[in-house]
Amino acid sequence: MWREHLKDATLRLQFARNYVREIEQDFPDSEGATADGRYAYLQALRAENEALAFYRRTLQVCEELDRGGQPPDESARFKTGAA
């Protein structure tokens, strides 16, 4: 189950990073960007940071399980971060 979470987290992170690149291409001049462009860029960065945090939490759980640890209680320790 946690390996599936890790695959999902990896895809989510890749998608978020690709989206940031798309926004950067659409609005290459960050200094003179329009308000809409700046807002889109900040939202994309926020989504990327959230995806990275989700990936890191998931990877940490998988590594602990590989070392023989116990899976966490998902309701208490792990938020899926599904968007």
Q: What is the 3-state secondary structure (H, E, C) of the chain?
A: CHHHHHHHHHHHHHHHHHHHHHHHHHCCCCCCCCHHHHHHHHHHHHHHHHHHHHHHHHHHHHHHHHCCCCCCCHHHHCCCCCC
Q: Is 68 left (phi over 0), alpha (psi -120 to 50) or beta?
A: left
Q: Where are the domains of the chain?
A: 2-77
Mean pLDDT calculated for residue range 72-76:
56
5-63 residue pLDDT tens: 999 999 999 999 999 999 988 877 755 568 888 888 899 999 999 999 999 999 999 99
Q: What is the CB-side half-sphere exposure of residue 10 using CA atoms within 13 A?
A: 8
